[in-house]
Chains A and B, each alone.
Chain A
Amino acid sequence: MSSPTILCIDDEVPGLQIRKAVLERAGYQVLTAADGPTGLTLFRGNAIDGVVLDYYMPEMDGGAVAETMRRERPDVPILLLSAYINLPTEVVRMVDVTLLKGEGPMELLEKLRVMLRPASESTKSAVGGSA
């Protein structure tokens, strides 16, 4: 099985590049986008296994991007990153996992691994609850 393809969307370009390096080192294939619309284009044009999405972005925030993705391909899991502690409840419900920025790469990789695990291995809710 080839390594999963992760789509990373964040307007913080240096942070995005660093996160891409971390994920690549963990063995993922990574696509990056610096804003929501670009991310959606990549999402539609590529076989994406998971999405690491920043919430707080100009113009189109993570909530709006996640909503579109869910509508188009509800099977693709989404990990929502945020610098906020208090995210809107409807946004939290829409995604699979949330992660507070700054929690560290080990946490990110762990949550991503669990999120991408086939449904037979574990229930989705068990992972989502950790947010």
Chain B
Amino acid sequence: MKLPEFNRTLRQLVTLPIVLLVLMAGFLAWQIAAATRAQRALDHSDQVTAQLQELLSLFIDQETGLRGFQLTSDPVMLDPWNAAAGPIQLHFANLHELLAGDGAQLRSLDDLEVRYNQWLGFANAVLNQDAASLKAAGMNQRGKAMMDGLRTATATMLQHEEALRAERSHHARWLQGRELVSLLLSAVVVGIFLALFTRHHVHAISVSYLRRIAEITERSDALSESQQWFQTTLESIGDAVIACNNRGGVTFMNAVSEKLTGWPLEEARGKSLERVFHIINEQTRERVENPVEKVRRLKQVVGLANHTILIARDGREYVIADSAAPIMSGADKMAGVVLVFRDVTEERRVQTALVASEKLAVAGRLAASIAHEIHNPLDSVANLHFLLQQEDDPAKRAEYLRLAQQELGRTMQISRTMLSLYREPKAPIQIDLRELIEGVLLLLDRRLQHQGIRVETHIAAELAVEGFPAELRQVFTNLIINAIEAAGPRGRVRIGMEHAESGELHGAGAIIEVTDSGPGIAPEAAKRLFQPFFTTKGADGTGLGLWVSMGIVQKHGGSIIVIESPDRELPGACIRVYLPARTLAQRMGQPAA
């Protein structure tokens, strides 16, 4: 049952009984009015009877007075006569008034009044004559007859009124009976109707209510089951999960997050996320922005900054990878934030080991060039030493020594360049990119010459970035060796370097592009190029070079991508590296070393 239907039913349940009771009350009022009218008619008959009886009594009083006077001639005897005269007129007037609506009785009354007046005329005549004359004239007989007629007329009227009263009394009783029956019947009918009507509607409401309760119970069970399911799922997954409300108070933690943060849920509940989830930047060791704030600002899933360290309650540190997402309760309403993170400390250790192994691999790739570069001058120095031993001419000896010095210088240069691949300052330093790339090219020079590869460098201006030189050397060694291998003998490699203006996507810095004349990278390979262990070189490649390079570039706050070669003459692969002038760590306030 829908709410409007329910309201309508309720209205009907209240309104209908009221209407029925009002109707019933009206009906009863009509009945009562009829009974009252019947009672009034009875009263009327009683009044008429009383008036007539009094009138008859007054007639008798006058006659009695008249007879007494006739016998005694004593005027005292006329007192009843005189006393009755006034009331008789009054009663006649009253009866006229009472019988106004009853034609037959009114006519009888008129007749009675006529008879009385005749008797009165007779009586007055009697009063003016003596007794003897009365006897002689037979007046007494006449008077008696007149009075008898008067009495008879009154009695007739009385009888008529009695009959009328009996009829009215019968009617009144009938009305009373009808009233009672009507009351009972209407009460029973209305009662039954109301009972059926109420039962019907209450039943409908009750069914609907029960159905709704069943639905709510079912929904509640489903909800509870779903909640249980989610709870179990969240408890079971290997990642740590923390949920908080939109004020940043912790509302849920699974077992993994309890273990990593060192906070049991009971204690953490309601506490601010910052207190429980204490994260810092791995490099600067400064506090990282509260993810709840960040999500609230952006209203979307945010991956937290790389190199985040979680400091547990007991001070233990975990390298974590994490993301935070908003919990939306409506189109635009954020109910909270859920954080998902995992301990990547072990992963990071493996990654570090892989990076170190890749460093060795780079050294391996350079080994041939380095061996050549070192053995050539060494060979010359050994030969010069032999010549010096045998030469007496000072000028020639000086020349040999100069040549030996020159060759040793070359060895030193190669050795320094090689060492710079590994020796690393602790903090980022200012690096001249041109010098760095030329150093890499020097190491590869013999190889380039041997394969007849032409390297063109287009360096726009003095370009300096902050960073770790050995790491960046590793990146460019990788990129240039890849280009050399892709270009093949007598191929071409172009190294372009230009200043990058500060823009929407990145700050000021340098863009370096390494393009080769090779066959290019297949789109399928391009997608996986920066994944670890992906190689296009079969057993000759470790599949770590570009992955490590990307890690290094990202650590510097830069980016590395494969783009379509902008040079038509070099249709091969083009790798673009962006390096910011100031590294992330520097920007975050670490003092320059």
Contact = CB atoms under 8 A, between A and B. Distances in A.
Interface in B473-494: none
A104 B382 contact: yes
A18 B446 contact: no
Interface stretch (B5-13, B332-340, B372-380, B495-503): B372-380
Interface stretch (A52-60, A66-74, A117-125): A52-60
B376 A15 contact: yes
Given A84-B372, A101-B378, A102-B378, A18 B383 contact: yes
Contacts of A81: 379
B371 A22 contact: no
Q: Interface extent on A, as a size class?
A: 20 to 34
A104 B407 contact: no
Contacts of B386: 22, 25, 104-106
B107 to A, nearest CB: 164
A102 B383 CA distance: 9
Contacts of B400: 18
Given A15-B379, A101-B379, A58 B387 contact: no
B384 interface: yes
A100 B383 contact: no
A33 to B, nearest CB: 16
A131 interface: no
Interface of B: 368, 371-380, 382-387, 390, 400, 403, 406-407, 446, 449-452
B403 A18 contact: yes
A21 B399 CA distance: 12
B449 A11 contact: yes
B382 to A, nearest CB: 4
B365 to A, nearest CB: 14
Interface string A22-53: 10010000000000000000000000000000
Contact of A15 (B371, B380, B449, B451): B380
Interface string A89-131: 0000000000011111110100000000000000000000000
B387 A21 contact: yes
A19 B450 CA distance: 21
A71 to B, nearest CB: 22
A21 B376 CA distance: 16
A101 B390 contact: no
Given A18-B380, A58-B449, A58-B452, A102 B375 contact: yes
Given A18-B380, A101-B379, A104-B383, 12 more contacts: A15-B383, A18-B384, A18-B387, A21-B387, A25-B387, A56-B372, A58-B452, A83-B375, A84-B371, A102-B379, A103-B382, A104-B386
- Residue from B375, B446, B449, B452 with most neighbouring chain A CB atoms (10 Å): B375
Contacts of B383: 15, 18-19, 21-22, 104-105, 108
A18 B380 CA distance: 6
Nearest to B391: A25
A4 to B, nearest CB: 19
Nearest to A85: B371
A11 B451 CA distance: 13
Nearest to A109: B386
Contact of B376 (A59, A83, A108): A83
A60 to B, nearest CB: 9
Nearest to B378: A102
Most buried by A among B378, B382, B449: B382
A102 B382 contact: yes
Nearest to A104: B382
A106 B390 CA distance: 13
B384 to A, nearest CB: 6
Nearest to B447: A56
Residue from A25, A58, A85 having most chain B Cβ neighbours under 10 A: A58
Contacts of B371: 83-85
A88 interface: no
A18 B372 CA distance: 17
A57 B378 CA distance: 17
Nearest to A100: B375
Given A22-B386, A25-B387, A25-B390, A101 B450 contact: no
A83 B403 contact: no
Contacts of A19: 379-380, 383
B488 to A, nearest CB: 14
